[in-house]
Structure formats: structure tokens, C-alpha cells
Structure 1
Amino acid sequence: MNLIRSTLHMLWMIVTVIPWALAVLIVSPFVNSTRVYWMCARWLKLAVDSGTVIMGIRNRVTGMENLPLGAQDGAVLLVKHQSAWETFTLPAIMPHPLAYVFKKELLYVPFFGWAMGRLDMIHIDRSRRAEAFNKVVAQGRRLMDQGVWVIMFPEGTRIPRGEKGKYRSGGTRLAIECGAPVIPIAVTSAKCWPRKAFVKKPGIVDISIGPAIPSVGRKPDELMREVEAWIEAEMLRLDPEAYPSGEARPSRLKPGEG
């Protein structure tokens, strides 16, 4: 049954993404980037809602009160990454537009990537690290001045359930450069949608939004250690079955392998 449900959901995604992407390509030259973003976010919400209806995957979100309240307040969201589910869900539930930092190769994915290229997001060339980070800071500062929140996955890739990747300090460096708070977010999506799995199973995905952590006067590595400690402790609380030893197993994955 889970195979049938997963297949139906995948077919639904394929069938709907093509007209959605074409609509974005047609409309984007004539409207501002914010309107294009919310147009895309509505499709992502449909993708999440269809995942609930077809596959039985439900979100349980806590901590929304920890998000900045001002319309122009910037923030850097640092998120535990276990599957594609959170990449769909977070734009669907957040009150501000989000700008993902992602590798430029995703722009070449038919329809989905073409539409992403019309959004005001931060796509980087990972082979040019110094240049890439300068681009992240420049674009991140501009976007956050407009009230857009930058979202990053500090482990750099999707991490299997019960494991912990290496937390890299790019997100906290960006926050410090821009004077923006960091928002740590724990996500248990691998309980229902394991990394790179085609067959998903019904259940509850917890999305826990932590308290904002000020970045002013902090050091990037020190701040990232605080983010890591909060996320991993929250993962253990939310999904104790994944951590039989009481702590996460080190992941063997390298950034970009997910």
C-alpha cells in the first residue's frame, strides 16, 4: 500500500509541476519576485497537502512564536535536513519569503529547476568556495534588507535518520556579517520519508523551531556549536527511537552527496 501511495504522490507531483513551472516562466517577466515566490509557495503547499492526503504524512509544527515579528526583520534559518519533505514544507508554512542557498546544478532540472531560476534565491558554484561565500553574503544582505529570510542546511546534505553530519559555519558567518539572528530548526522527516527513498510511510513529521539566537558579537564556529547543540538535543527529544545509544551516530556522507 505504501508503494502505491508513494507512486501516486510522485505522479501527482510530476503532473502538476509542469503546468506550474510553465506558468512561472510565463508570468515572471511581468510581476515582481515576491508575487512569483508566493505563486511557487502555493504549489509547494499543495505538494505538502497532497502528501498528507495521499501518503498520510502530517506535520506537527511547534515554536512559530520564536520567529521574528517585523515585516522587514531578517533571519537565517538553519535546518536539520533529512529529506525533500522539509524543502517543500518550510516555504509553505513560513510567514516570510525564503531564499534557499543551493548548488547551481539544480537550475538544470527540467521544469522545477527552470522555475527556481526565476526566483530571487542564492545559487552558488561549490567549486569556487571563496567566491561562493562572497555571493551568499552580498545577496543574503540584500534579501534580508527586503524582509526575506535565508534558509540553509548546515550539514550540507540530507542526513540519514539517527545520524549527524558535520555542521559547517557558513550560515552563522552569514548571520554575523548581516547582523541577523539565527533560527535553529529540528525536523524528523526521515521517520516518514527516508533519505533518497521512493517508498514513504504515513506518520507525523515534527518541525520544531527554536528560539532566535542573536549573532552580534559572536564567532561563527562558537555560534554554530550552539546551533548544533540545540538541534541535535531536540532531535533526540523528538525521535528517541532513532538514537538507541542516546546520541547521534556520525554520518559518513560528505556535503553534496545527498
Structure 2
Amino acid sequence: MSALLPIRVVLFYLLLAFTAFAWCLISLVFAPFLSFRKRYRFVVQTWCRSAIWLAKTVVGLRYEVSGQENIPQKPCVILSKHQSTWETFFLSAYFEPLSQVLKRELLYVPFFGWAIMLLKPIAIDRENPKAALRQVAKQGQERLDQGAWVLIFPEGTRVPVGQTGKFSRSGASLAVNAKLPVLPIAHNAGVYWPKSGWGKKPGTIKVVIGPPMHAESEGPRAVAELNQRAEDWVNAQVRQLESTADM
């Protein structure tokens, strides 16, 4: 298995690129005529599930999820650890419909970016943090009102295994203003799908969905407290998952 792994990784990326290109073309033709929920299922869930399946079948990246009982019936703000690309695929397939906060540059990618635009993402300009915060607040509230989950990676970028990034308060602020909880999610995907390079490692990615966290009051202090509580929980869970992973 180890000798063939580089070949399997190359095969995985070739198949992933082919399916992405083909599905984006199909989506651009049919998705505009579908409702937002059906469009999400058709465009995102179908392809993201195929990406997760390819990772499992070709590379040997399995996964286990715990804490499903913590998922509230009403969509809220998801705050997830960000270590790799895998969790982007997984969470987009697991929760639907979902609107993700992402960097605006992704919308400029031919075909892929055009398909993303159909899915009501919150595409921010990272070079203008203040405007980005206002955009997350405004469009995030709109997405929640439309019955969509809002996925935020509060560290802002992928963080290598063993390291942590400071949580942005944008997700907690959105939740407090919407009077909704945040749903913290921890995982150890970076152990098997690192941030840098093309390398992959077979194994079982563990995902932990935490209990919904509600603000204890209102205002900036409530936002800071909720954000810190979510950050502490996610970091503690990630440390535990990384310590027990097959390194």
C-alpha cells in the first residue's frame, strides 16, 4: 500500500479534477433552473460526496463522526477547525443547504468559481477586514433567514497540525445578533491531508460535533465570551484527536 500511495494520490487528484470540471459544466446548465435547496443538493452535495468517496476509495481516507445528536434542528452558525481541504468537502456535504464564508478570489476561477456563485456564498475581501465583517454580518443574517447553515472557519485559513490560529469574532457576532447558537466542530483531518503539498496518508479522520453554544447575554462582551468558549472547546478537542491519531 505504501509503495503505491504516491500513484494513488496522483490518481485521486486526476479524478477529482475531472469530476470537478465535468460537474461544474453540468451544474452551469441545469442549476440556474432549480430552487436554492435543490441547487445546493445537485451542485454541492453530489460532488462533495463524490470527492469524499474518492478520497476513501483511492487514498484510504476514512472518517468517523461523533456528536450528531448535538446538531440543532434549526440551522445556525458553524465554527469549524480548518486544517485541510477535506473538511470543506465533508461539511459542505453533511449540512444542507450551507453558505460558506470564503475568499472572493475563488469566484474568479473558471467554471469552478462560476458554479460557486450559484450557491450564495459569502465571498469576502480579506484585504479589507472591516468591510468583510460587515458583509458577514449582513449576508450571514440573510442566509440564516433563508434557512441555510453558515459555515465559518474562524481561524481564517488552514492551520497546520499542532498549531492554532486566533478565532475571528465574526461567527460569534453573527450568532449573537441572530439569537442563534454556534455549533463548534473539531477534527484531525490535517494529520492525513496536510495543509501543504500533495501528500496524503491513509487513516481514519475523526470529526467531533460539539454541543450548541448560546451567548449568555448580549453585546460585544457576550460575543467575546462566546467566541472564546468555542475556541477553547475546539482547540481542546483537536489536541485530544491529534494525540490519539495514527501519526
**Both structures adopt the same fold (TM-score exceeding 0.5):** yes
Distance in structure 1 (CA, Å) of the matches to 2:51 and 2:115: 16
Q: 1:53 — aligned with what?
A: 57
Question: Match of 1:124, as an amino acid?
Answer: I
Listed as ranges, the gaps of 5+ residues in structure 1 are 243-258
Structure number with the higher helix fraction is: 2
Q: 1:27 — aligned with what?
A: 30
1:175-220: CA deviation from partner (whole Å, max 9, x where unpaired): 1111111011001001110102201010011110000001362522
Listed as ranges, the gaps of 5+ residues in structure 2 are none
Q: 1:252 — aligned with what?
A: none
Q: 2:243 — aligned with what?
A: 240
Range moving further from structure 2, 202-211 or 232-241: 232-241
Q: 2:78 — aligned with what?
A: 77
Alpha-carbon deviation of 1:131? 2.5
1:21-74: CA deviation from partner (whole Å, max 9, x where unpaired): 0111112321122211111211100110111000000111011110112xxx23
Aligned to 1:13, which of 12, 16, 38? Answer: 16
Deviation beyond 4 Å, 4+ runs, structure 1:
none
* Aligned-residue identity in percent: 40
TM-score by length of 2: 0.92
Contact 2:136 2:170 in 1 (8 A): no
Alpha-carbon deviation of 1:146? 2.1
Q: Secondary structure at the match of 1:163?
A: coil
Q: 1:256 — aligned with what?
A: none
Aligned to 1:4, which of 2, 7, 18? Answer: 7
Contact 1:9 1:51 in 2 (8 A): yes
Distance in structure 1 (CA, Å) of the matches to 2:27 and 2:217: 41
Range moving further from structure 2, 203-212 or 24-33: 24-33
Alpha-carbon deviation of 1:240? 1.1
Alpha-carbon deviation of 1:109? 1.7
TM-score by length of 1: 0.88
Contact 2:155 2:165 in 1 (8 A): yes
Q: 2:217 — aligned with what?
A: 217
Q: 2:199 — aligned with what?
A: 199
Alpha-carbon deviation of 1:138? 1.7
Aligned to 2:71, which of 50, 67, 74? Answer: 67
Contact 1:179 1:216 in 2 (8 A): no
Matched, 1:88 2:89: yes
Alpha-carbon deviation of 1:105? 0.3
Alpha-carbon deviation of 1:110? 2.5
Q: 2:153 — aligned with what?
A: 153
Distance in structure 2 (CA, Å) of the matches to 1:128 and 1:231: 27
Contact 2:32 2:39 in 1 (8 A): no
Question: Match of 2:54, as an amino acid?
Answer: S
Q: 2:164 — aligned with what?
A: 164
1:73-100: CA deviation from partner (whole Å, max 9, x where unpaired): 2310000000000000112222x31110
Distance in structure 2 (CA, Å) of the matches to 1:54 and 1:29: 32
1:125-163: CA deviation from partner (whole Å, max 9, x where unpaired): 223322222221221112112221100011111010011
Q: Secondary structure at the match of 2:63?
A: strand
Distance in structure 2 (CA, Å) of the matches to 1:230 and 1:29: 39
Contact 1:24 1:118 in 2 (8 A): no
Q: 1:183 — aligned with what?
A: 183
Alpha-carbon deviation of 1:241? 5.7
